[in-house]
Amino acid sequence: MEKIKSVKVLDVPLFAGNIQDASSILRNEMRKEARHNYCISATGAHGLVTAHSDPNLKNILSSFYINLPDGMPTVWVGRMKGEKEMQRCYGPDFFAEMMQSTAHTPIRHFFCGGKEGVADELKAACASKFHNYNVVGTFCPPFRELSDQEFRELGEKITSLDINVVWVGISTPKQEKFAYQLARYTNVHFIVTVGAAFDFHIGKVVQAPGFMQKMGLEWFFRLCVEPKRLWKRYLQIVPLFVYYNILNLRHSKIQH
């Protein structure tokens, strides 16, 4: 296993490099014959705050091969802790980088997530946008939790298709728990959770302008676009992320 440079933010290790670094790590690992079902998440403030009050989720994220820093606030905290080269590894951008960089390789992809038809739309979008024709399977999970038998059947289907990367686009924390469970039943190189990347890349959801992303205001843009669905989430997440990190940084200073 390649050593991954990381920094802990709210006690969860986050990748301390950039998207190109992460993409290179995955491609190098996929050149090996052995497959370990390594799980990767694109984790932002929402996931970290949820993990702070959910020990099971924190344990799951801590066990993952890589947790990509999905939002700028997580990057700012990582830099404050000394990782000056840390960059945002936004889930949709990481997905695009991997689709482009594996387009003319034998790497095989599987899409899992979204409402009925979304994964198939994304498959078509990858062919037209990235010239990647190696998406060889899709699955739309029900809103309820899958049983062990259903996970086993899905895992066997994925294994039979000789998949290298399973992409999971559901929502946090469901997708991380889904990936962790699926890893018990299949044989792939990576299972990667990328949240709303599916909807972004088929044009179903509009992404925030670049300047808002750099300023850490993507949450505000998404709140303006989907206020009814997201207002409760961000009313809790944003203040708690700031509060927990202030406490964490103070505690670190006291210890030193």
216 part of a folded domain:
no
Q: How far apart are the first and last CA of the chain?
A: 31
Rounded to an integer, what distance in angstroms lies between the CA atom of residue 170 and that of residue 155?
A: 17
Task: Please indicate, yes or no, if residue 77 is contained in any of the structural domains.
Answer: yes
Q: Once rounded to an integer, what is the mean pLDDT over residues 170-178?
A: 93
Q: Is residue 252 part of a domain?
A: no
Helix ranges, 161-226 (H): 174-182, 197-201, 210-214, 218-225
Confidence of residue 36 (pLDDT cuts 50, 70, 90): very high
Q: What pLDDT is stored for residue 231 in this prediction?
A: 66
- Mean pLDDT for all residues in the chain: 90
143 assigned to some structural domain: yes
| Residue 122 maps to a domain | yes
> Residue 249 has what pLDDT?
74
Query: Given CA atoms 120, 122, 123, 128 in this order, what sign does their dihedral have?
Result: positive
The answer, yes or no, to whether residue 37 has pLDDT greater than 80, is yes
Q: Which domain holds residue 184?
A: 6-208
In what helix (H) or strand (E) does residue 41 lie, and over which residues does it extend?
Answer: strand 38-43
- Cα 35 to Cα 159, 178, 183, 232: the distances in Å are 11, 19, 11, 40
Domain at 58, CATH number? 3.40.50
Residue 215 maps to a domain: no
Residue 250 lies in a domain: no
Average pLDDT over residues 64-85: 95
255 in any annotated domain: no
User: pLDDT > 70: what percent of the chain?
Assistant: 95
Task: Evaluate if residue 138 carries a pLDDT over 80.
Answer: yes
Which of 117-121, 205-209, 236-240 is least confident? 205-209
Poorest-confidence range of 15-19, 51-55, 84-88, 233-237? 233-237
Q: What's the predicted TM-score (pTM) here?
A: 0.90
Distance of CA 188 to the CA centre of its chain: 17
More confident residue, 15 or 116: 15
Domain count, the chain: 1
DSSP-assigned beta bridge partners for residue 104 = none
Distance CA 247, CA 167 (A): 34
Rounded average pLDDT over 222-227: 74
Confidence of residue 253 (pLDDT cuts 50, 70, 90): low
- Read off the pLDDT of residues 40-53 as tens digits, 9 standing for 90 and up: 999 999 999 999 99
Question: What pLDDT shows up at residue 254?
Answer: 53
